[in-house]
Amino acid sequence: MIENGVITNNEVVVLITRPQMKTLFMEVTKPEMINLVTETIPKMNKTGNPYYGEIVKKSKCNFLLCTDYSKRVNVNRDKEDKEKDFVSQTPKGKKHLSPCVLTDEKTETKLYLFVERFDEIKPKVVIHTTPDDEFEMFRNFLPPISDNKSQGLDREVKPLTYLFDSIVSFSFRGRKFRVIE
């Protein structure tokens, strides 16, 4: 399917377009691990924020692709001796095209990758390549992180949806991919 690649640091890196990425992920039907490298603009408060629109968050982390969210929550509920009666809702404003590819409900032009993050696997995050002391300067402009109370779990399942446009590269099925336009 994908044949073009480059050699970087003695490794073959497959170049992949976003339409090819969609095709690849649409074919995934069972859970598999993936390492994603993303670049996003973090949500920030606008009022009095000199950093608004200037910050880029670069993140690298391993995730479970193609997770069955309801099943995963109920497995964790069972481990915590709680009722296995959790039923997930459709992600707000999105709909599934496949188990791991979503699109926006309004225009159906944006694509998202649905993954699960585990607390044991910490993401490597760089914010605008700034030193930690500078990060403290704009931390106050970031929205607070809230817990998901609907799962009724001590150890919650953490589903995430990454906009395809934010994915820079990934490692999947033993191959490294770099996203090109």
List the pLDDT tens digit at each of the 181 positions of the chain.
345 666 666 678 899 999 999 999 999 999 999 999 999 887 777 777 777 777 788 889 999 998 777 777 777 777 888 877 777 777 788 998 999 999 999 988 999 999 988 877 777 877 764 555 566 666 667 666 655 555 555 667 678 889 999 999 999 999 999 999 7
Q: What tokens does 20 get?
A: 């090819």
Query: DSSP character for 77?
Result: H
> What DSSP assignment string belongs to 63-124?
EEES--HHHHHHHHHHHTT------PPPPTTEEESSSSEEEETTTS--EEEEEEE-TTSPPE
- Cα radius of gyration rounded to whole Å, the chain: 18
Q: Give pTM, 2 decimals.
A: 0.77
